[in-house]
Each structure stands twice: as structure tokens, then as C-alpha cells.
Amino acid sequence: MDSGEALAAPLHVLFFPFLAPSHMLPLLDIARLFSNHGVKVSIVTTPGNAHLVHPLLHHSLHLIPFPSSTFNLPSGCENLTVLPLSLTTNFFSAVFSLRDPLSHLLSTLHPDAIVSDSNNLFAHCVVNDLAFHRPYDSISDPSLPFSIPGFPHSVHLIRSQLPELFDYPPMLDCIRDAERSSRAVILNSFSALEADYVEHYYNLGHLRRNLFLLGPVSIAGQPVKKEKKMEPCLERWLDKKEDGSVIYVAFGTMGRMKEEQIKELALGLEISGERFVWALGSGEVEEWIPEGFEKRVEGRGLVLRGWAPQTEILSHAAVDGFMSHCGWNSVLEAVTAGVPLITWPIHSEQFVNEKMVVEVVKVGVPAWEGVKSVKEEEKVVVPAETVAAAVKRLMGSGEEVVAMRKRVAELAQLARKAVAEGGTSHADLSRLIDGLIAIRNEHRQIKG
């Protein structure tokens, strides 16, 4: 290929998501957006995660083997959500061992840029080794509260509410180094949701003009009429309920609770008297539901096993509340649907997200006040009466909740405007792709 052909060729971007659905799906949505804009897309994952890639992107899929047995992981366990917490270290070690296979693949595919999840820290090193430049998808006193310095709002946390990564300084150093040396940072958000923090990020200096907000990616580039994923029985159940009368309860694919907490949560939903849909998941937690619970709430409450079509449920007119673990995807999906939240953070950055929802944006209420921690040994069991009170508070008609509903409805409109043509997120996507093409062409001209 001569220099003229090289400059005219489509931009080629490789996407390398972390091996967990809550990380993969948003990055795959971003890959779809790039593809819709004429970018050649390559997606790298392992065989056990290939089913998460949309059929329209299968032609872009490149699989690298996952070394389960080498790291004493059960055969076929290639996804963090299917593993017990005791094997998390083994899993991360296995993920880090993918550095060499990724390096080999990059040297074969020669993409112009790489978009990697922030948990795939070694990808940054591989990129530097091969002289690639990637827009970085960051998308980071035990008991005394402290204020996060420099934030636009006064946000107070305690040490045990910081993400688990803060217990591993070398990993934090890698993240900081990656952000500083990367060409750009991609965020699954939109400017109207956190404008003050976008400005704060810009003012950090080394990232000025290289921040791109592409979200909410779950609705960006979607057809007006999407294929329905909701089971007919669930849809019929919701259709029979009054508008705004149902609360949806879900804690994500990685949100694990103890048996005692599951029982208290069930009893809390029962005594609240409110209508609910509870996405329980599957496995041993099913055995922890109090005996006779589903019979007692029949007609008023519905328990879902396995995967639940969360975005469709939240978008249904009957649903006007969401009890959530505050995973960022779930927060964005709630805001996009115009649904206020009950916050119940469990791990990772979810405690920081709770502060955003409750104190900054003010579209949610906490499930409980008091001790909250990422550490299992410090977690408290929230009693049924407290759960019920939070549900009744959110589903009520108090002045506080009315203001929340108004605010989240406004944000829902702004979210859709952001991803529409001419919106801020749509413009950022175009700006990002144009910038990558310019960088690609500059490097090809230098190489001759």
C-alpha cells in the first residue's frame, strides 16, 4: 500500500474489554458506535466470552485462549462473574498472562489505535512496546470521613469505601501512568450529567482537550425500534400495573450478598406493600429466599431468575424506582430511563457513585444510613424494616421524591439529546475518530 492509499484507508481500532459483562458490554457498545461511523473494528476476547459479542460484530472478533488450568481456575471459567471471590486473584493473574498473546495479535493486525478497559493494565505496556497510541477507556483513617480534595462538590468518604484497587498501590500507579501517557480518555457519560466534573478533569492539565464523553453508549446509535428482549410473561405482568407503581430491584452480575441479607431484603420488599420486580439471578441465592415468600407477594411482586432485560424493564411505564448496587452502567441506565434510585453499593467504585447519585445529582436515596464498606468483614446486614422504609420513601409522593423525579426526567431528555446527531456525545465521537485518523495519517507519513 502506498502512502496515498494508506491515508485514505479506513481507521482501524482494536477493542480489548475486561472479562466481565459489566465491563464488556459498554465497550462493545462503543465498538458498535465506531463501526457505525465507518471505522474498521477489531474485538479481542477469549472463547468463553465470545457469546457476549453482538452477531453484527462477529466478523471483527479475534479470540485468544484463556489459561484457566495454569492458574488453578475451573475449566471454562473465563469470566469474573462466574467465580467465587476466593479465586479473584487467580483470575487477575490469568488475565495479566494474556499480555504475550495480545502483543502477538497486535503485531499481526496493526491497528491504528487501541481502546482497552482500565483493568487490562498490561495492554498499556504492550501498546508502548509496539509504539501504538490508544484512547484510554477509563471507563479509580479507616473510620473517619475525609473530603476528596479538589472535587467541585464536597464529597465525604471513609477509607473502607474507596475501591479495592486502593489497597494495591502498584496497580494505582499503573492506572495513573496509563492516563498520563495515553492520547485520550473515553468516558461512558454525558456532559449534562456531570458538567462540573468534566471541567475538573480538563483542569487537571495533562488531559486537557483529550477527554471524550460518548454516553450513554447503551442508547447511542440504537435503532428507533429495538428488538424486544423482554419475556412475554414479564411484559404482561408489567402491562397490568399502573404507571409509576413498580420498583425494580437488581444488584448487577457481580453484586453478591450474604444469605441473611437476602432474607432481610425479601422481607423488606414484602412488608413495604409496594409492587416490585426483583432480578435475583440464579444459583444458591434462590435457596435463601424465605419460605413462602413468592406465594405471599404473588400478583404484587415478581422474582426473576437468570438474566433480566434491565434497560427494557427500566423503560417500562409501570417502573418508577430502581434499587441498585450503583454500578455505573446501572446508574446511567436509570438516568436514561428517567427512573430515580435507591442506592445500595456493594464493591468497587459503587460507594463513590452513590455519592454522585444522592448528594451531587440528587436523583436517589440511600437504602440505609451508617456503616458502608467494600470489605466483606465490615458489611452490616440491613434489616427488613429499613429496606421497607427506603422503598416506601422512594415510591411515595413526598416533596423530596417529586423533585427527584422531575430532575431525573430532565436528565433522561438530555441523555438522548447528547447521543443524537448534533448532541455533545455524538460530537465527541466524531471528534475522537477524526483525531485518531489524523494521528494515524501523521504516523504513516513519518514512516514514508
Cell numbers for 126? 504492550
Q: Is 23 a catalytic residue?
A: yes
Q: How many helices (H) and strands (E) does the chain have?
A: 16, 15
* DSSP assigned state of 115: E
Q: Quote the cell numbers at residue 229.
A: 428482549
**Beta strand 146-147 pairing with 211-213:** unpaired
Contact 419, 221 (CB under 8 A): yes
DSSP output for 11-56: PEEEEE--SSHHHHHHHHHHHHHHHHTT-EEEEEE-GGGGGGS-GG
Contact 320, 340 (CB under 8 A): yes
* 213: Cβ contacts below 8 Å, ≥ 6 apart: 187, 189, 190, 191, 198, 418, 424, 425, 428
What angle separates helix 399-419 from helix 424-447, to the nearest 10 degrees?
A: 40
H-helix segments, 97-248? 99-109, 121-129, 169-181, 195-202, 232-239
Distances (CA, A) of 240 to 173, 195, 227: 53, 39, 22
> Which entry of 29, 117, 137, 428 is annotated as an active-site residue?
117
Cα 384 → chain centroid: 28
At residue 378, what are phi and psi to the nearest 5 degrees? -105, -5
Residues 6+ apart with CB under 8 A from 22: 81, 252, 253, 254, 327, 329
Q: Which residues of 351-367 are buried (b: 16+ CB within 10 A; e: fewer)?
A: bbbbbbbbebbebbbbb
Sign of the dihedral through C-alpha 325, 328, 330, 336: positive
Residue 117 designated active-site? yes
From CA 64, how far away is CA 102, in angstroms rounded? Answer: 8
Amino acid at site 377: E
DSSP string, 399-448: HHHHHHHHHHHHHHHHHHHHHSTTSHHHHHHHHHHHHHHHHHHHHHHHH-
**Does residue 91 contact residue 71 with C-beta atoms inside 8 Å?**
yes
Report residue 147 as a C-alpha cell. Answer: 473530603
Q: How far is CA 404 from CA 154, 311, 357, 393, 436, in A?
A: 20, 20, 10, 12, 39
Residues annotated as catalytic (active site), given as ranges? 23, 117
